[in-house]
Amino acid sequence: MTPARFDGYGVLITGAGRGIGAATARLLASEGARVLVTDLDAGRADAVAAEIRADGRVAEALVCDVADRAAVEAAVAYAVETFGGLDVLVNNAYACSLDSTLFEDEQDETWHRDLDISLGGAYRCSRAAMPHLAASGRGAIVSIGSVNGLQDFGNHAYSAAKAGLASLTRTLAGHAGPRGVRANLVVPGTIRTDAWAGREAELDRVSALYPLGRVGEPEDIAKAVAFLASSDAEWVTGTSLCVDGGLTAVNTGFRNAVTG
């Protein structure tokens, strides 16, 4: 029998109580990883970890606010102590606020919150995890970006944060490569998560813009994370992998307009 890709790995995932983070936790655990499910919501984190354990896999849950350096360092320390080391960090936690109608009405608090969680959180987690990832000999950081960091889909602060996360991924790759740690970014398009609850009609309209004819599912992103975190991608670092159904490669709206 072929060994699972993550046998013996210790993994920490932020924002893993639902959506992409939860799907990633389930997938990596199914392939042998011991997963620390962190989230601001204790109930959500506990539920995902319990589901994984019920499947005969290893998972722990912990509340972690990625905007709090002490909480981040405590989460990394807990993972290292519980699993005997840390091999993979998945930076998934984010904040995304609605834009004001007029840009001049945007609030500093909103701007700072989105950047501090979506970008600052990945910075704090990567900083705390780095020595342990380097010590593992197979360390990998996989961060979750967004097509918002590539093109205009709204959400000023969130988009700026995701663009910054792509840059952070590249600089981390350059710094950490000689230490044996890889850093990569997954760039999702529209994903069917709780953020779209009650907006099924919008998702149906959006689906028509995707060359592959549908929006993504959390599992689509989890599979990309698993690839980049595994030894299958051992010569891949500093890259941004678009998992977006072709949205940023093909202007479907324009093509439809000119072809009738």
- Host domain of residue 81: 10-196+216-244
- Tell whether the torsion through CA atoms of 85, 173, 245 and 233 is positive or negative: negative
Q: Would residue 2 count as lying in a domain?
A: no
pLDDT band at 196 (very low <50, low <70, confident <90, very high): confident
Q: Would residue 60 count as lying in a domain?
A: yes
Per-residue pLDDT, 118: 97
Q: Would residue 257 count as lying in a domain?
A: no
Residue ranges of E strands in the chain:
10-13, 34-39, 58-63, 88-91, 140-144, 182-188, 240-243
Give tens-digit pLDDT for 8-43.
999 999 999 999 999 999 999 999 999 999 999 999
Predicted TM-score (pTM) of this structure = 0.96
Q: Would residue 251 count as lying in a domain?
A: no
Q: Would residue 205 count as lying in a domain?
A: no
Q: Would residue 165 count as lying in a domain?
A: yes
Q: 15, 41, 37, 45: which is closest to 121 by C-alpha? A: 15
Q: For residues 232 and 67, what is the distance between their CA atoms, to the nearest angstrom?
A: 32
Catalytic site residue from 9, 94, 123, 158:
158
Catalytic site residue from 9, 94, 123, 162:
162
Per-residue pLDDT, 207: 95
Strands 88-91 and 10-13: parallel
Residue 149 near residue 191, CB atoms below 8 Å? no
Give tens-digit pLDDT for 80-104.
999 999 999 999 999 988 888 898 8
Residue 243 near residue 187, CB atoms below 8 Å? yes
Q: What would the mean pLDDT of 205-224 be, rounded to a whole number?
A: 96
Q: Annotated catalytic, 223?
A: no
Q: Annotated catalytic, 94?
A: no
pLDDT band at 2 (very low <50, low <70, confident <90, very high): low
What's the CATH number where 40 sits? 3.40.50.720
Instruction: Identify the residue with better confidence: 96 or 75.
Output: 75
Domain total in the chain:
1
Q: For residues 138 and 180, what is the distance between their CA atoms, to the nearest angstrom?
A: 6
Q: 192, 211, 204: which is closest to 249 by C-alpha? A: 211
Q: Would residue 102 count as lying in a domain?
A: yes
Q: For residues 18 and 119, what is the distance between their CA atoms, to the nearest angstrom?
A: 19
Q: Would residue 201 count as lying in a domain?
A: no
Q: For residues 143 and 127, what is the distance between their CA atoms, to the nearest angstrom?
A: 13
